[in-house]
Amino acid sequence: MIIGVTGANGQLGCSLRKIAADYPQHRFVFSDLPQTDITDKEGVSRWVELHRIELIVNCAAYTAVDKAESEPDAAWKINALGPAVLGEICAEKLVKLIHISTDYVFDGRAEEPYKEDHPTHPIGVYGATKQQGEQAVRESGCEGLIIRTSWLYSEFGHNFVKTMLRLGREKDPLRVVDDQVGSPTFATSLAKAVMQLTGIAFDKVEVYHYCDDGATSWYDFARMIFILSGNPVPVIPVESKDYPTPAGRPAYSVLDTDKIRKKGVRIPFWADALKECLNILKNE
């Protein structure tokens, strides 16, 4: 299968590059701005036709949660219009689509892990535009999957793990919120899950949840980063109200992964995946 990856320079795109050699049965075409703008229908159509792409994995996204509050048009263009264009092209050209979404489509008021069919209710611009992107893919008529994930980190780009490691070298103690709970997800884990789902039957657009196993707070996530990295930086728990941000965050956004597990997808415990990432960063 010829697989086109959009947003290929982001965390998930880079992780797919890293594991691509493990899937010699597929040919990958990685692309990102400025080569491929997912909001440019003619440009994406040419890209699909030139490379004879059979499946698109859309990793492109506007992920600056706080900045989105002051740049709603920019967030909408990438997170909503882009998926709409991709879905339309995939429907026209009979190309399959895997679109990556987020736990931020939920409001965080649940008390148990969110299932795929739970009503969405985003509380910020980022989550709202990602919700609109999901809806556009559903309405496009293409065959595809929407995979929601949470708290993504990797050895690539900017993310919570790398930020904590940097701050831990610069100052202590660190103050981290303790009243937001979710599931940290190593981008390599998600990339492997995406590749496993490329082999299932595609029909109408289906939603799957993928996050690494278990749940934790940002505070305990930070503590585990320093424990596993051997750097005993003191971390102080604070409440969200003591650390105001432009965008609201879901207080609880753990995703139920039973559906994807039934497809045979193996899910590592979040701390084990974190240890793998930290070892990679240490060796680098």
Q: How confident is the model at residue 284, as a pLDDT?
A: 81
Which pLDDT tens digit goes with each residue over 16-65? Answer: 999 999 999 999 999 999 999 999 999 999 999 999 999 999 999 999 99
Q: What residues contact residue 148 under an 8 Å CB cut-off, 6+ apart?
A: 101, 102, 103, 105, 116, 207, 208, 209, 210, 255
Q: What is the CATH number of the domain that holds 126?
A: 3.40.50.720
Cα–Cα distance between 13 and 7 in angstroms, integer?
6
Residue 278 lies in a domain: no
pTM of the predicted model, to two decimals? 0.96
Q: Provide the domain count of the chain.
A: 1
Which pLDDT tens digit goes with each residue over 69-102? Answer: 999 999 999 999 999 999 999 999 999 999 999 9
Cα–Cα distance between 275 and 284 in angstroms, integer?
14
pLDDT reading at 243 higher than 90: no
Cα–Cα distance between 78 and 73 in angstroms, integer?
9
Residue 224 lies in a domain: no
**180 to each of 184, 222, 229, how far by Cα in Å?**
12, 13, 23
Residue 90 lies in a domain: yes
Of the candidates 126, 153, 208, 210, the residue annotated as catalytic is 126
Residue 172 lies in a domain: no
Residue 148 lies in a domain: yes
- Tell me the residue type at 234: P
23 is an active site residue:
no
Range of the domain at 198: 2-159+184-214+254-268
